[in-house]
Amino acid sequence: MAERSRARVGVLISGRGSNMLALLYAARQADCPYVIALVVANDPEAPGLAFARAEGVATFGLSHKGRKRADFDALVDAELRSAGIEYVALAGYMRLLSDDFVARWAGRIVNIHPSLLPRHKGLDTHARALAEGDRVAGCTVHVVTEALDDGPVLGQTEVAILPGDTPDSLAARVLIAEHQLYSRTLAAFVLREAAQPLLSPQSRRA
């Protein structure tokens, strides 16, 4: 797919960035409909930023500390817009977004969450799945709305829970599923959105 017809995606991370890399490597396939055009972190030392830089991707690292949430989000928003970003993918972004930021990107932010939503919203998903005796864990990609881990589900992958699993052993298998689910789901999402101008003059990408 021609570079200029690919959707420009900005990825927001806070840490190691393995999901960001999965999105980035998937985008190297010729038929991938998106390109990772910017990686943003709320920690300039986030390991994922160094990985993105090494891959030749533009980065923006800025600590949120000492800044009001709305002010920090406005700076991130300005970076995304100046990079011509059309979609935002949260990938281990450990900050709640301000309602204003979510409203500005309404319908164009997606997130990956390491549980089968609506089960286990929030943190410590794997420990909670084990503590509650779940037989199946998994991951979810969803559209981001103002409510935490609550927007429309775009895709899910189930991961079996084994006897003797620990939160770490389960997380490791769920992460494999995350890496596969996210890029496929994001690709389908941007293609679906790109097709909408044919159906509706109100499309956000028009």
Applying the rule CB under 6 A, the residues between 131 and 190 that interact with ligand GRF are: 175, 178
Instruction: Reply yes or no: is the peptide bond before residue 114 cis, omega within 30 of 0.
Output: no
Tokens representing 67 are 């800044």
CA dist., res. 49 & res. 20, Å (int): 10
The residue type of 19 is N
Q: How many residues bind ligand GRF (CB under 6 A)?
A: 13
Among 38, 80, 89, 112, binds ligand GRF (CB under 6 A): 112
Site string for ligand GRF, 65-104 (x = CB under 6 A): --------------------------xx------------
> Active-site residue 142, yes or no?
no
Among 6, 64, 113, 120, binds ligand GRF (CB under 6 A): 113
Among 17, 61, 138, 151, binds ligand GRF (CB under 6 A): 17
Report the chain's C-alpha Rg in angstroms.
17
Q: If binding is defined by CB under 6 A, does position 42 make contact with ligand GRF?
A: no
CA dist., res. 206 & res. 34, Å (int): 17
Taking the complex as a whole, the smallest distance from the CB of residue 92 to ligand GRF amounts, in Å, to 3
Strand partners, 110: 89, 143
The 59-61 sheet, strands edge to edge? 59-61, 34-41, 7-13, 87-90, 109-113, 136-143, 153-160
Taking the complex as a whole, the smallest distance from the CB of residue 49 to ligand GRF amounts, in Å, to 11
Q: Which of 13, 84, 7 is nearest to 42 (CA)?
A: 13
Contact by Cβ (8 Å): 140, 112: yes
Q: If binding is defined by CB under 6 A, does position 39 make contact with ligand GRF?
A: no
Q: If binding is defined by CB under 6 A, does position 18 make contact with ligand GRF?
A: yes
Q: If binding is defined by CB under 6 A, does position 15 make contact with ligand GRF?
A: yes
Q: Which residues bind ligand GRF (CB under 6 A)?
A: 13, 15-19, 91-92, 112-114, 175, 178
Tell me the catalytic residues.
Answer: 113
